[in-house]
Amino acid sequence: MIPVRGYTGRKVAVLGLGRSGLATARALQAGGALPLVWDDSPESRARAEAEGFAPFDLTRNAAFDDVAALIVSPGIPHLYPAPNAVIARALELGVPVDNDIGLFFRSFATRDWDGFDQMPRVICVTGSNGKSTTTALIRHIVAEAGRPVHMAGNIGRGVLDLPPAEDGTVVVLELSSYQTELARALTPDVAVFTNLSPDHLDRHGGMGGYFAAKRRLFTQGGPDRCVIGVDEVEGRFLANQMSVAPEDDRVIRISAAARLEGPGWSVFARKGFLSEWRKGRQIASIDLREMPGLPGAHNHQNACAAYAATRTLGLSPRLIEGALASFAGLPHRSQLVGEAEGVRFVNDSKATNVDSAAKALQAFPRIRWIAGGMGKEGGIVSLQPHLGAVAKAYLIGHSAREFALQLAGTPHEICETMDQAVARAAEEAEPGDTVLLAPAAASFDQYPDFEKRGEHFTALVAARLAGRH
């Protein structure tokens, strides 16, 4: 646990008692603060009571008397489309609103660090797609190098649940736009921006607000190194803002779409090869094509980001190459879950929007595509340019018929359920095919979350493959 500093003897309100909220309450208490906890959900309040925290109704009059700050969980709207009523009241009264990420950066460094031989480092990863894989990949590389490393934030555990730093500890945080937008302190040693595509626009008042939330990770605290994906104009703009000269190697530009030029530091992937260039010279090259945990151009972008971030720690290209090769991938993200008779089965249940589905559809040469669920605005019309490798689509869930109308000439079948889709795709698959779950839709029509959807797909594949032996 990271005890929160700066609030000894002060009341601090905590709104939202999920994983991060409860961790925040514990860390505040450990630091000598008096946490006042609240959640609209009776079940969440009961969990807090079981840990010894008496719920304090933050909606009542005078709830903020003598309160030093309000700490908010990331799922609670604080600005758009409208602030939560408790947050709105705090804003009216001038009570500072923060989150656990801000508290972490205020509290992580301690005087104990004066005795360390190697200073702890914090690497933060944000962006629209690939954050989780990039974060996990950085953690894997650092672990392979033998350094103490922890992963937290939007993946794994709450940041304040982390243990205090040891000599040489590396902390890798995945941060969503909700987290970067609200944190009052953001001071990573290395900040990573993977890419940007439309998402959460209602929470940020449009694309400009969404980008501004991500950008705060770089402009708020001034990281020592920036790793920035420049395949979109926003990334190119951000890299330009963070550089003071073309040769400024505090900024590492990364790309999975183009060969990067210029005298600065860059890492890019083309035709399956990762290249590192610095001061106009190539430093290293890595063949990514046969690395099973990193299929497709989108994962090659993740590899570039992780490679660049870990190079800033002084790790060698050869060590990083070995770690990339041994990375098994994350569940539900281009995860190979089975293979038989030349047919691969890949679980990309996390592909809940068309942008992430497009990346998955470009990763394999011939695809039996399982798609559908609770479709988002616009459906899958924008995927038309990316359907060239699809031999046939097997459509499930609420939007199956809508998706069928948008597939034009692509062969397809309405299967309704995952069971039927897996059975039909497996029956028709030929050697060299990939049966790919990349739904391009939310899961809530049939599953509580994308994880449960991916687990069902994986279980069906396992049962089917077991029946062949």
Q: What are the binding residues for ATP? A: 127-133
Q: For the chain, what's the residue count?
A: 469
User: Measured in whole angstroms, how far is the alpha carbon of residue 32 from the centre of its chain?
Assistant: 32
- Token digits for 81? 């489309």
Q: Do the Cβ atoms of 147 and 170 come closer than 8 Å?
A: yes
**Terminal Cα-to-Cα distance of the chain (whole angstroms):** 48
* Residue 29 amino acid letter: Q
Q: In terms of Cα–Cα distance, which of 167, 154, 139 is closest to 309?
A: 139
Which residues make Cβ contacts (< 8 Å) with residue 67, sequence separation at least 6?
11, 12, 13, 36, 95
Looking at 87-205, which runs of residues are DSSP E strands?
Answer: 97-98, 121-126, 149-153, 170-174, 190-193
Among 325, 223, 235, residue whose Cα is nearest residue 274 = 325
Residue partners of 4: CB distance under 8 A and separation at least 6: 12, 24, 27, 28, 30, 31, 33, 103, 106, 107, 160
